[in-house]
Amino acid sequence: MAAVAGQLDPPPTLRLDLRGLPAPQPMEHILARLHTLQPGQVLVALTPLYPAPLLPMLEQLGFACDARATDDGARLLICRAAERHLLDDPPAP
């Protein structure tokens, strides 16, 4: 990450809007994208439902997740478990 005026660039984000898909497609799309997640990247996924079944799977696969319910589903921030600190300052919606 490059320093600009004393600040680090935010980590690159990958965004998926999966709210229009029926279950289990949102989970399948998220799992498929995890192997493309580079160090320092955060995956932001919008889903039509809160993804309770996905959360333990992410942990088992070595990822950290911040999942929050929204008015129209859920917003997930996912990164590598070793980079959990990236979830402390999440990317904009």
Q: What CATH number does residue 42 fall under?
A: 3.30.110.40
Domain count, the chain: 1
pLDDT tens column, 32-75: 999 999 999 999 999 999 999 999 999 999 999 999 999 999 99
pLDDT band of residue 88 (cuts 50, 70, 90) is confident
Closest CA to 30 of 12, 13, 18, 48: 18
pLDDT for 5 beyond 60: no
3 within some domain: no
Helices and strands of the chain, counted as H and E runs: 2, 6
Q: Which residue has the higher pLDDT, 47 or 88?
A: 47
2 within some domain: no
25 within some domain: yes
Q: What is the largest CA-CA distance in the chain?
A: 44
pLDDT band of residue 8 (cuts 50, 70, 90) is low
The domain in which residue 55 lies consists of: 11-87
pLDDT of residue 91: 62
